[in-house]
Amino acid sequence: MNKIISASTLAIVVMAGCSQPQKDEVPMTSDNMLLQEWSGPYGGLPAFDKMNLADLKPALEEGMAMNLAEIDKIANNPEEPTFENTIEPLEAAGDALSRVFTYYGIWSSNESSPEFREIQGEMAPKLSEFNSKITQNEKLFARVKAVYEASLKTPLPDDQQRVVLLNYEGFAMNGADLDTKSKARYAEINKELSTLHTNFGNNVLADEENYVTYLTKDQLSGLPESYIKSSAKAAADRGQEGKYAVTNTRSSMDPFLTYSDERDLREKVWTTYYSRGDNGDEHDNNQNIVNILKLRDERVGLMGYDNYAQWRLQNRMAKTPENAMNMMKAVWPAAIGRVKEEVADMQAVANERGDNITIAPWDYRYYAEKVRKKKYDLDSDEVKQYLQLDKLREAMFFVAGELFNFNFKPVAEGTVPVFNEDVKVWEVSDKTSGDFIGLWYLDPYARKGKRSGAWATTYRSHDTFRGKKTVLASNNSNFVKPAPGEPLLVSWDDATTFFHEFGHALHFFSSNVKYPTLNSGVRDYTEFQSQLLERWLSTDKVINNYLVNYKTGEPMPSELVAKIKNASTFNQGFGTTEYLASALMDMYYHTTDPTNLDPDTFEKETLASLNMPKEVVMRHRSTQFGHVFSGEGYSAAYYGYMWADVLTADAAEAFQESPGGFYDKDEAAKLVKYLFAPRNSMDPAEAYRLFRGRDAKIEALMRDRGFPVTKE
């Protein structure tokens, strides 16, 4: 697929990978393993066990050359442009380079190293130049434009019409209509941005790797036994036997701030985490932010846009920055109002305890936990005893079977190549027909060189363009690996995230499209499917059958279940405010003149103007906001999580209103048919209307979070 994108380092024009050769494809002559067609079972598999970093640079260079040869052939076709001789060859181009990028993604996200980062830094501008050679190929764009304009007069079949539109937009939004001088500057900007994006992400990773807080035995007060054991292992892995490591990642920081009785250490851990990229050293990201914003603003100015956000949102569900801002600001007052209530409750608890403190950001999680116990008699550590990662995985498989008719079967160790011994693999098939759908890879544990957070990705997407392709999808997390023989117990929030990312995988496996381009996503819609799947974690069938005590095997008591459900809107002020602060800042950054901008000052002043509660900080402070500054996937688009959550809350009510509840077969069939299987083969707004019979309403979101609903 011809993924024309703007200046992102990793998502550079990777033409869709497909292991089946096509007639007239540029012949594969390289003996570089990273370029080789995938062989073996399951329609061919990436050879993760044979990855050699020395192959990467030559593979990228050769793959780009092969791809450009394919592009030149399409562009110089003497025949009149048609869908068959222009768009279809574009859909088929770039197989070899796509395979290289599968390995590149593993080195970048799962197995990074200083050696890889050196190659990454060297290749980023070269990949940007390669991208520009395609987006600025005048002959190619003329052919795509001709097919697009012809399709407006004589429409093609729906899926072909959508492919033409997406291809045309990809070129047009990336300056294909610019004059020669502007095109040259556009390409130069993309080249500069590619290096800045890479530097930004690597700076954050460096601060995550280099800053570790070590504890001694007398500093463990309040911490759960499972956390103590995993932090002891983390310290031992770093050569600090006998100590306990709080690593500089959310999965380690969050539980420490929730349970540690040591306020000074909470402040230290909090400060270390939220200072990533903002330490005034070689890994400081403030100047990177300024440079990125100036270049983005200049680039869209070449095309006549007032600001970057205006350019970004034109083909999203929100359409304009104003629409996105209006949605966020409709929720913001209720969110910060709830924070005031939460802080008052926490301060009262602190006063009752005689702690003689005023609630600060590093206290929020700790005292919120005390309030949770007081208000709802709900102890998060008690809940964790019923949240084993392995059982949660089984629960996800159960939900996938009930809603999507999928069956998951573990693959025998050694059958499928993996890049790390912690990665496990499952076969995915249709429960009724037994037809093979794909493989699901799980990489659950944090380690050095692995980027923080949780994410889903595909190594191969489904399409039927040149024969049916099976899906290779992966979920990746950063759970702290438990001590040998110990279960991995996670928080309710982590369990929710686990379900969320699995929702992305189910979206991949459900794909029912012909053309590779139709697997692309609309950013303010692509989180909807994953956010919706979170809702099944708290269904009775999951709770009663999979949330069992790790010691006794007994199911979660009904009293504890009732407490969890009663507390479902607890701390929504904190969760909504920390997210919305980041989403609003993203939009303000991309609608403001970046000249003379100082990120630290801009962040502080903008949040103050929004009346940001002093007890809460942005979920992603500017200098560590990788979604926005280490690439362009979520830039001026982080609002999309809440846009999608409006859809999520509304769709959840559709299930609640149905006879079978969350397992209603008719509702599930509509869900798959309209919201999962089509991927990007139809406009998302129309797809949602086909599912729900109307547009989504923001009131569902407000009800869902326990916020006041002012209108119906």
CATH code for the domain of 163: 1.20.1050.40
Total domains, the chain: 2
Could you tell me if 148 and 268 lie in one domain?
no
CA 124 – CA 8 distance, rounded (Å): 9
Question: pLDDT tier at 3 (50, 70, 90 boundaries)?
Answer: very low
Tokens representing 610 are 């929004």
Could you tell me if 154 and 216 lie in one domain?
no
Could you tell me if 40 and 130 lie in one domain?
yes
Radius of gyration of the chain (CA): 25
Q: What is the pTM of this model?
A: 0.87
131 domain-assigned: yes
pLDDT tens by residue, 174-230: 999 999 999 999 999 999 999 999 999 999 999 999 999 999 999 999 999 989 999
φ/ψ (deg, to 5) at 336: -75, -25
> Residue 294: how many CB atoms within 10 A of its CB?
16
pLDDT of residue 14 exceeding 80, the answer is no
Mean pLDDT of the region 379-407 = 96
Res 402: pLDDT:
98
173 domain-assigned: yes
pLDDT of residue 16 exceeding 50, the answer is no
DSSP tag of 659: T
Could you tell me if 166 and 52 lie in one domain?
yes
Are 379 and 567 in contact by the 8 Å Cβ rule? The answer is no
pLDDT of residue 4 exceeding 90, the answer is no
Question: pLDDT tier at 334 (50, 70, 90 boundaries)?
Answer: very high
pLDDT tens by residue, 249-269: 998 999 999 999 999 999 999
Mean pLDDT of the region 642-667 = 96
pLDDT of residue 711 exceeding 90, the answer is no
CA 181 – CA 261 distance, rounded (Å): 62
For CA atoms 541, 546, 551, 553, the dihedral sign is positive
254 domain-assigned: yes
Beta-carbon contacts of residue 15 (< 8 Å; ≥ 6 apart)? 1, 2, 3, 67, 70, 90, 92, 93, 94, 95, 97, 98
Percentage of residues in the chain with pLDDT exceeding 70?
96
Q: Which is more confidently placed, 16 or 640?
A: 640
Give me the domain span that covers residue 254. 211-274
102 domain-assigned: yes
Buried b (16+ CB within 10 A) or exposed e, 115-137: ebbebbeebbbbbbbbbbbbbbb
156 domain-assigned: yes
Res 709: pLDDT:
85
What average pLDDT does the structure give for the chain?
Answer: 93
Q: Collapsing DSSP states into helix, strand and coil, what is residue 398?
A: helix
pLDDT tens by residue, 622-631: 999 999 999 9
> Residue 659: how many CB atoms within 10 A of its CB?
8
| Host H or E run for residue 656 | helix 640-657
Mean pLDDT of the region 611-616 = 98
Res 523: pLDDT:
82
Q: Collapsing DSSP states into helix, strand and coil, what is residue 456?
A: strand
428 domain-assigned: no
Question: pLDDT tier at 27 (50, 70, 90 boundaries)?
Answer: very low
145 domain-assigned: yes
Q: How far is CA 539 from CA 403, 471, 549, 564, in A?
A: 13, 28, 17, 11
pLDDT tens by residue, 202-217: 999 999 999 999 999 9
646 domain-assigned: no
Could you tell me if 165 and 43 lie in one domain?
yes
Res 160: pLDDT:
98
Closest CA to 6 of 640, 631, 516, 638: 631
Mean pLDDT of the region 85-97 = 97
Return the amino acid letter for 636.
Answer: A
Question: pLDDT tier at 273 (50, 70, 90 boundaries)?
Answer: very high
Return the amino acid letter for 77.
Answer: N
Domain endpoint, select from 177, 201, 236: 177
Q: What angle do CA 478, 483, 487 make, to 5 degrees?
A: 75
CA 276 – CA 249 distance, rounded (Å): 10
CA 171 – CA 219 distance, rounded (Å): 57
Q: What angle do CA 419, 425, 430 make, to 5 degrees?
A: 145
pLDDT of residue 69 exceeding 70, the answer is yes
Could you tell me if 63 and 107 lie in one domain?
yes
Question: pLDDT tier at 173 (50, 70, 90 boundaries)?
Answer: very high
